[in-house]
Structure 1
Amino acid sequence: MAASIIDVARRAGVSTATVSRALRGLPNVSEATRERVLRAAEELSYTISPHASSLASGRTGTVGVVLPFVNRWFYSQVVAGIDSVLRANDLDILLYNLGDERVHERFFARMPLRRRVDALIVLNLPLSAAEREALVSMEVPIAVLGTRIPGCWHVSIDNAEGTSTAVRHLINLGHRRIGMITGAPVDPRGFTTPIVRQHTYRTVLAQAGIPYDPDLEAPGHLGIKEGASAMSRLLSLPDPPTAVFAESDQMAFGALRMLSRVGLRVPEDVSVIGFDDHETAELLDLTTIAQPVAHQGELLARQILDALSGASEEPSRVVVPTELIVRGTTGAAPVARPRYQTVSLPRPGPEPDQHSRTLAR
């Protein structure tokens, strides 16, 4: 089997981006590194593809963006940030939405971006080892949001730190029955963010000496209606939570809607905290963990510009800080059990919802 750029990078102990720059004679590669790369390429009988070389020089004027969901608020904001930077530098975006498993598989079987882009940006996409190698083998600079690919530029937030801040905020307010509205229970595509946030939620509770109750976790599937359905499940418990952490602001919006429907006061009866700082969060006075979503897209685009210009020899990694924004939906834990109204709860989600019942007064 012919050697790949990945093999040369491993032999030389550098990134694939450095191999590509060294073999094309681009600046910002030390002579010692260039010699090491050339020696590794010679030992492996590797020759850079003339086509890949022309792509890396920027002749297409296009950057590919691969993402799992094109119609979700978070991704639309990231893409807007990417576009604002690339457009200002006369580069176009070629967008690929891998929205389901069939499209995902077809993309990696055909690799339609090959020969069409100068660089690639990958947004929170779970990838197998073979898929990561397929992307790297395109021999163009790659910047990744969230999920890491060795040898590629990287931007992320610290999901564990953000989640820890949210849960500790509720604990510090005196809450001990703390529910969590999760993104999804188990996703076969392997998205890691919900897993990290669930694990951190459980860890912080344990550190505070609060017993973990699996009934206090309810799937909200990242939507407003689904967040309302998850809140209804939590309220139907014999001992419902006095506070709820939602993995996204949109799920928190649904939780607030349900609490209003059943006549509960926020935060006097139930506190709610979200994650993102969606533009509607301030309007609804939602306490949340803010992450600069569009700014992450801007950072990815700037990394690509640096890579295309050869401004940095090795791929950089940027961890963007999150921030607790305290507004009106979180407060001290109630001293007495909240009083609920009788209500017929809706059937908002794709799963059957059997929550038409009388909640305890």
Structure 2
Amino acid sequence: MAASIIDVARRAEVSTATVSRALRGLPNVSEATRERVLRAAEELSYSVSPQASSLASGRTGMVGVVLPFVNRWFYSQVVAGIDTVLRANDLDILLYNLGDERVHQRFFARMPLRRRVDALIVLNLPLSSGESEALASLEVPIAVLGTHVPGCWHVSIDNAEGASTAVRHLINLGHRRIGMITGALGDPRGFTTPIVRQHAYRTVLAQAGIPYDPDLEAPGHLGIEEGASAMARLLSLPDPPTAVFAETDQMAFGALRTLSRMGLRAPEDVSVIGFDNHETAELLNLTTIGQPVAHQGELLAQQILDALSGASEEPTRVVVPTSLIVRGTTGACTRSTPPT
């Protein structure tokens, strides 16, 4: 089997983007690194393909953006941030919405962006080792949001810390019966963000000496309607929660709607905290964990620009901080004993 750019990168202990620049004589590659790459390529009898050479020269003027859900607020905001930076630098977006598992599998079987993009941005998409290698074989710079992929530029938030902050906020207000509306835990593609936030919820409860109760977790599947149903399920428990952490603001919106329809109030009856700082969160006075969503897209786009220009020789990793934004839906626990 002929050697690939991935094999050369592993032998030279650099990224595939550095291999591509070194073999084409592009700037911002040190002489020591260039010599190491050339030596590895010679040892493996690797040669640059004409298609890859065309891509590396930036002739398409396109950056591919691959995402799992095109119609969700979070992803639309990230794409808007990407687009702002790329268009200011005369680059366009080629969008690939993978949608569901079937489309995901077909995308990686066909790799439709080959020879069509100068670089690639992947948003919160779990990748197998084979899928990561398939993307690397395109021999273009790749920036990834959320999921860490070796050899790729990377932007993320600390999901564990953000979720932990949310639960600690409720505990500090005196709550001990704390529910959680979870995200897309059952998706066969294995999204990690809901799992990380769920684990943080359980960990903080344990650290506070609060027994874990699986009945206090209800699936919200990232939507407003589903969040509303999840809150109704939690409130139907014989011992309902005094506070609820929703993994996203949109699920929290649904939870607040259920409270209103049942004649209950936040925080007087149930405290509610979300995650994201959606633009509607302030309107609804929702306490939340804020993350700069569009800014993460801007950072990804800037990483791609740095990679294409050679300004960044090796992939960089940026962790964007989150923050607790206290508004009116969380307050001190007023229930001293379980209801009868």
Separation in 1, partners of 2:78, 2:96: 14
Alignment partner of 1:206 is 2:201:
no
Please give the per-residue CA displacement for 1:301-338, whole angstroms capped at 9, x wherever unaligned. Answer: 000000000001101000000010000000000xxxxx
TM-score, structure 1 normalization: 0.92
Quote the residue 2:304 is aligned against.
304
> Structure 1: any 5+ residue segments left out of the alignment?
334-360
- Where 1:205 maps in the other structure, the secondary structure is helix
Separation in 2, partners of 1:46, 1:267: 64
Percent sequence identity is 90
> Aligned-pair distance for 1:30?
0.8
Moved more, 270-279 or 12-21: 12-21
> Aligned-pair distance for 1:156?
0.3
> Aligned-pair distance for 1:186?
2.2
> Aligned-pair distance for 1:202?
0.2
Separation in 2, partners of 1:247, 1:227: 10
Please give the per-residue CA displacement for 1:94-152, whole angstroms capped at 9, x wherever unaligned. Answer: 00000011111111111100000000000011111101100000000000001111101
Please give the per-residue CA displacement for 1:273-306, whole angstroms capped at 9, x wherever unaligned. Answer: 0000000000000000000000000000000000
- Where 2:93 maps in the other structure, the secondary structure is strand
> Aligned-pair distance for 1:185?
3.5
- Where 1:281 maps in the other structure, the secondary structure is helix
- Where 1:121 maps in the other structure, the secondary structure is strand
- Where 1:122 maps in the other structure, the secondary structure is strand
Separation in 2, partners of 1:306, 1:56: 13
> Aligned-pair distance for 1:48?
1.3
Separation in 2, partners of 1:126, 1:160: 17
TM-score, structure 2 normalization: 0.97
Separation in 1, partners of 2:101, 2:323: 34
Separation in 2, partners of 1:102, 1:183: 21
> Aligned-pair distance for 1:86?
0.4
Moved more, 6-15 or 181-190: 181-190
- Superposed, 1:73-222 pairs within 5 Å as 73-222=73-222
Quote the residue 2:8 is aligned against.
8
CA contact under 8 A between 2:184 and 2:191: conserved in structure 1?
A: no
> Structure 2: any 5+ residue segments left out of the alignment?
334-339
Separation in 1, partners of 2:123, 2:329: 31
Separation in 2, partners of 1:296, 1:265: 34
> Aligned-pair distance for 1:160?
0.3
Separation in 1, partners of 2:102, 2:269: 45
- Where 1:39 maps in the other structure, the secondary structure is helix
Please give the per-residue CA displacement for 1:146-195, whole angstroms capped at 9, x wherever unaligned. Answer: 11111010000000000000000000000000000001332211100000
CA contact under 8 A between 2:67 and 2:125: conserved in structure 1?
A: yes
Please give the per-residue CA displacement for 1:184-233, whole angstroms capped at 9, x wherever unaligned. Answer: 33221110000000011000000000000000000001111110000000
CA contact under 8 A between 2:64 and 2:121: conserved in structure 1?
A: yes
Please give the per-residue CA displacement for 1:224-253, whole angstroms capped at 9, x wherever unaligned. Answer: 111000000000001000000000000000
> Aligned-pair distance for 1:57?
1.2
> Aligned-pair distance for 1:50?
2.0
Please give the per-residue CA displacement for 1:27-62, whole angstroms capped at 9, x wherever unaligned. Answer: 111111110010000000001112211111110000
CA contact under 8 A between 2:185 and 2:191: conserved in structure 1?
A: no
CA contact under 8 A between 2:101 and 2:188: conserved in structure 1?
A: no
Separation in 2, partners of 1:233, 1:188: 24
Separation in 2, partners of 1:157, 1:61: 29
CA contact under 8 A between 2:179 and 2:217: conserved in structure 1?
A: yes
How many aligned positions are there? 334
Moved more, 274-283 or 10-19: 10-19
- Where 2:34 maps in the other structure, the secondary structure is helix
Alignment partner of 1:254 is 2:250:
no
Please give the per-residue CA displacement for 1:56-79, whole angstroms capped at 9, x wherever unaligned. Answer: 111000000000000000000000
Separation in 2, partners of 1:227, 1:123: 23
- Where 1:139 maps in the other structure, the secondary structure is coil
Separation in 2, partners of 1:186, 1:157: 22
Moved more, 257-266 or 319-328: 257-266
Large movers: runs of 4+ above 4 Å: none
